[in-house]
């Protein structure tokens, strides 16, 4: 158990819908990262927050957005969902930036 929690574990929804994925970092960690894992793209970095502020952005679609709240938990919002958004979404956390990242169990999103 890494100490990073993610909910829900599984999510099945339809195209065009909007979902919210939630992540709670390890106690004491200020950075939260979101990654997408799919068969064709592998593991791709989406976005990083550090102590509430966006720190780095990767291959994140405009339909996707994220935020980190004062209690340091983070949410990833995916809207206008397409079939190709079906993937595993991982959250990771670290103490600072460029530190070791510890991963949560992931949310498996299926878009039908």
Partner 1 sequence: AQSVSQHNHHVILSEAASLELGCNYSYGGTVNLFWYVQYPGQHLQLLLKYFSGDPLVKGIKGFEAEFIKSKFSFNLRKPSVQWSDTAEYFCAVILYNQGGKLIFGQGTELSVKP
Given the rule CB under 8 A, which residues bind partner 1? 2, 31, 33, 35, 42-45, 48, 50, 55-56, 58, 90, 92, 94, 96-106
Nearer to partner 1, 8 or 58 (CB): 58
Q: What is the DSSP letter of 84?
A: G
- Smallest distance, partner 1 to C-beta of residue 46, A: 9
- Smallest distance, partner 1 to C-beta of residue 16, A: 29
Nearer to partner 1, 42 or 70 (CB): 42
Nearer to partner 1, 87 or 106 (CB): 106
- The number of residues making up the chain comes to 112
Q: CA 46, CA 76: separation in Å to the nearest integer?
A: 10
Q: Are strands 42-50 and 31-38 parallel, antiparallel or unpaired?
A: antiparallel
**8 Å CB contact between 20 and 11:** no
């Amino acid at each position: 158990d890494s100490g990073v929690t993610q909910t829900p574990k599984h999510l099945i929804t339809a195209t065009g819908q909007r979902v919210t994925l939630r992540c709670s970092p390890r106690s004491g960690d200020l950075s939260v990262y979101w990654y997408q894992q799919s068969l064709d793209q592998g593991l791709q970095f989406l976005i990083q927050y550090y102590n509430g502020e966006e720190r780095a952005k990767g291959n994140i679609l405009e339909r996707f957005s994220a935020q980190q709240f004062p209690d340091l938990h983070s949410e990833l919002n995916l809207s206008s969902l397409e079939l190709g958004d079906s993937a595993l979404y991982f959250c990771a956390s670290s103490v600072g930036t460029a530190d070791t990242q510890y991963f949560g169990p992931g949310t498996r999103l299926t878009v039908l």
